[in-house]
């Protein structure tokens, strides 16, 4: 815990640039000839909202000529690109030198190679703005019908005409990063262990799970840097996702195979019988191998399946083949991994984040079960596209949209209640969500 608490500060509490340097970068990047700083910004906070290794963000208010909106301004540190890429190159060289050592079971060379690819795009805020727009559109649009849908998380949008390679002006999301959520709750007099806090934790878990499931499976283009500094608890109770400097596009074949893995894992979890179904495990292993998972020689036959279960199903206590669920255990499937597909390294990173949140909440959470409905819809659309008769009308999509709309309205009503009554409603909803047998239980994931 001591190490993780110290490292957590690196997400948004790095030493900031002085305001004079921030203003100089903004003036150089954004201002047109003859334009002054005050012509663009009516206000510009000199203290940053957060500072990370690549950039820092300030709250500002645009001038009336630029729309008068409250915005967040992301400013890149000068000369940071060469420094960070040099650091990653050094890490790659070190990882390559120890590659294959039994004492280092994880292939860090593959990890750092993927990081190098992602970092090369993180220094171009024009690309980040395009990624922000693309993911925001994907979350708020049903790919089957093209109709709008309520997004599971709120994402900012860039401000047109105020984006350059080193400065990005975007919507301001009012709230606190997850890394500082506990302190924010305590400041408001909310006990982090209360039913109200636990209920929001479940909502957060559900929102992130759905957001990453939709983007990874439906389009294969997703946010690839989901640390607690980039996840926001908004003042209105919604969940926000910021910083689209690191994104990842995986191929259609990988998305389809991942969808099949989710369906197979969910079917295994729904079995409920004693012992393992060897045919199910063989199918899961086949799909894991198709994705590119490779284990060391002599590993148990169930190894690929155990790796998939460990990554995507946190609801299990044991893994097939004698493996342990704890990744630090000598019997973890991680210890026998020979290679993991570089294309999917950041998918694994996202699953580890969500599993970590579930663990902190004490919730048994199966990503496979939660993603399986998305996966089935994707596979059904692909099957219908190959059919000469095309896809049938999707009444269930309309019903699902109406259900999400009703849940959002109910959430707004609950948030408007006086605190004592809201806490009472939260306690009842939390009990129902744990039972999973009452309509009120939906409040745990939708409010």
User: Which among 12, 107, 171, 225 is annotated as catalytic?
Assistant: 225
**Residue 171 falls in the annotated catalytic set:** no
**Selection from 218, 435, 215, 441 nearest residue 346 by Cα:** 215
Answer for the pair 265, 283: CB distance below 8 angstroms, yes or no.
no
Q: Which residue bears the tokens 């640039």?
A: 17
Q: Please tell me the distance from the alpha carbon of residue 269 to that of residue 18, in angstroms, as a whole number.
A: 53
On the 0-12 / 13-18 / 19+ scale of CB atoms within 10 A, 41 is: buried
Answer for the pair 155, 232: CB distance below 8 angstroms, yes or no.
no
Neighbours of 289 (CB within 10 A): 16
Active site residues: 225
């Amino acid at each position: 815990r001591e190490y993780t608490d110290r490292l957590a500060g690196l997400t948004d509490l790095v030493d900031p640039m002085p305001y004079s340097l921030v203003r100089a970068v903004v003036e150089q990047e954004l201002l047109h000839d003859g334009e002054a700083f005050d012509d663009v910004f009516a206000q510009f906070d000199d203290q940053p909202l957060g500072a990370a290794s690549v950039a820092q963000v300030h709250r500002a208010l645009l001038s009336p000529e630029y729309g008068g909106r409250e915005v967040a301004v992301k400013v890149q540190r000068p000369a940071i690109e060469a420094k960070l890429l040099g650091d990653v190159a050094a890490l790659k060289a070190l990882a390559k030198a120890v590659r294959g050592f039994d004492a280092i079971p994880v292939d860090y060379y593959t990890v750092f190679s993927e990081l190098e690819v992602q970092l090369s795009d993180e220094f171009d805020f024009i690309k980040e703005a395009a990624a922000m727009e693309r993911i925001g559109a994907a979350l708020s649009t049903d790919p089957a019908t093209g109709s709008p849908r309520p997004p599971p998380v709120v994402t900012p949008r860039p401000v047109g005409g105020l984006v350059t390679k080193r400065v990005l002006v975007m919507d301001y999301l009012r709230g606190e990063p997850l890394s500082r959520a506990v302190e924010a709750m305590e400041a408001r007099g909310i006990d982090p262990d209360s039913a109200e806090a636990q209920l929001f934790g479940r909502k957060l878990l559900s929102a992130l799970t759905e957001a990453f499931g939709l983007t990874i499976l439906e389009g294969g283009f997703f946010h690839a840097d989901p640390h607690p500094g980039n996840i926001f608890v908004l003042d209105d109770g919604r969940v926000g996702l910021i910083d689209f400097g690191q994104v990842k596009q995986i191929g259609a074949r990988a998305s389809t195979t991942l969808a099949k893995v989710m369906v197979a894992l969910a079917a295994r979890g729904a079995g409920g019988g004693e012992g393992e179904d060897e045919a199910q495990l063989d199918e899961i292993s086949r799909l894991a191998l198709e994705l590119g998972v490779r284990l060391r020689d002599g590993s148990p036959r169930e190894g690929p399946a155990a790796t998939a279960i460990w990554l995507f199903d946190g609801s299990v206590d044991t893994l097939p083949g004698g493996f342990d669920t704890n990744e630090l255990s000598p019997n973890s499937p991680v210890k026998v991994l020979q290679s993991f597909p570089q294309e999917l390294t950041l998918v694994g990173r996202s699953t580890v984040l969500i599993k970590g949140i579930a663990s902190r909440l004490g919730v048994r959470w199966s990503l496979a079960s939660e993603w399986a409905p998305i996966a089935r819809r994707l596979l059904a659309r692909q099957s219908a596209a190959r059919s000469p008769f095309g896809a049938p009308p999707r009444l269930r999509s309309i019903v699902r949209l109406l259900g999400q709309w009703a849940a959002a309205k109910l959430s707004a009503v609950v948030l408007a209640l006086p605190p004592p009554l809201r806490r009472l409603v939260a306690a009842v909803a939390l009990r129902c969500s744990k039972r999973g047998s009452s309509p009120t239980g939906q409040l745990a994931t939708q409010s």
